[in-house]
Amino acid sequence: MQLETIHNLTLPKIGFGTWRIGGGSSPNRLIDSKSLKALRTALEVGYTHFDTAEMYANGHSEDLVGQAVRESGKRREDVFITSKVTPSHLRYDDVLKACENSLRRLQMEYIDLYLIHWPSAGAKYEDTFRALNKLVRDGKVKNLGVSNFDLPLLKKAQSLSETPIITNQVPFSLSDRSYVKNGVLEYCQQNDILLTAYSPVDEGSLRSNKTLEGIAKAHNATIYQIVLAWIVALPRVIAIPMSFNPDHIRENFEAADIRLSAGEMEQLTNS
């Protein structure tokens, strides 16, 4: 697995996203066994970074992530957990309470990386970061980041955070390069911030083309693996694909070991 090291923090190029684990916007306990099987498979395959949020299944995703990690027997320090505070919880006291609730559901003493999930119109980010900075000082959160922030908001977050902003988690794929066009990717690469790509294969609805199929055939890989390989070949970019399918979970993980040539990278970028 390729790695990215930033501010003395090392993360795998590919982690495991958990949107839809435990349900959608509300819990669906009928799929708990399916969700736990996916998480257990990911842990067995070798994933160490798990990305969740209080918004996912209204917190039930965190329940299941915590359960799967405990049952795996892995040491807490060998697993990296990212979670997120919802935009409706950005007031000072609400941030502290949201984090406590996430820790309770995860049954963990700290969160490795805590993100603001979405910007919120009218949010007083000075108060938000006053709480986030306190969580870091208190050891309940190790690192801070943001998600879905444009460039001005990302710079504002940097100015308010007492510790480095580790990542901006945004949609990024072959078909969605909006955060390239708005300058966020370049800024992250130049300022030691990871861009974490979510929906990197368009939630499984990736459109194929001859270029993609040709490169996939040359590497004896799937088109999904090639797209992931293209994403994580970019400096300061990591990805968090998600799947319930055990074969796809393994294929996603192995995509980080595919080495694309400069020519193949250029073809995909221009496709």
Residue 56 a catalytic site member: yes
CA 68 distance to own-chain centroid: 18
**What is the CA 72 to chain-centroid distance, rounded?**
21
Q: What are phi and psi of 241, to 5 degrees?
A: -65, 160
CA–CA gap between residue 209 and residue 27 (Å, rounded) = 37
Q: How many whole angstroms separate alpha carbon 256 and alpha carbon 233? A: 8
Which candidate in 47, 56, 114, 198 is catalytic?
A: 56
| Rg of the chain (C-alpha set) | 18
Helix/strand/coil (H/E/C) assignment for every residue in the chain: CCEEEECCEEEECECEECCECCECCCECHHHHHHHHHHHHHHHHHCCCEEECCCCHHHHHHHHHHHHHHHHHCCCHHHCEEEEEECHHHCCHHHHHHHHHHHHHHHCCCCEEEEEECCCCCCCCHHHHHHHHHHHHHCCCEEEEEEECCCHHHHHHHHHHCCCCEEEEEEECCCCCCHHHHCCHHHHHHHCCCEEEEECCCHHHCCCCCHHHHHHHHHCCCCHHHHHHHHHHHCCCEEECCCCCCHHHHHHHHHHHHCCCCHHHHHHHHCC
> Active-site residues: which are they?
56
